[in-house]
Amino acid sequence: MTFKEITADLEDQNSIVTLRRWLDRGDGIALYENHDLGSPLIGHKQWASYGSPDAQLETDTPPLRLRDIGGKINWAYQLIGTCRL
């Protein structure tokens, strides 16, 4: 995905700046979406950095299912796209 595509649903400028910073430091952006049919948050999206020791996901390839990060339980979030420079 392009940066424009991966940020299309974001309206918060601070979030867009954060995602740009991830790319600038050499990390990738992984976009996840809640696919739990019984969840009131179905369709909700989350972004995670991957690639370096500074990233949320310290792996070269993001997992298909988002790991629990920062106290959030993320099992319902499936990978739908990535962006890397």
Can you say whether residue 53 is alpha, beta or left, with left for phi > 0 and alpha for psi between -120 and 50 degrees? alpha
Domain span holding position 14? 3-83
For range 76-82, the mean pLDDT: 98
For range 54-66, the mean pLDDT: 96
Mean of pLDDT over the chain? 95
Total domains, the chain = 1
Instruction: Give the pLDDT band (50/70/90) at residue 70.
Output: confident
For the segment 26-47, what is each residue's pLDDT rounded down to a tens digit?
Answer: 999 999 999 999 999 999 999 9
CB-CB contact of 26 with 51 (8 Å): yes
pLDDT of residue 13 exceeding 90, the answer is yes
pTM of the full structure: 0.93
CB-CB contact of 38 with 6 (8 Å): no
CB neighbourhood size of 29 (10 A):
25
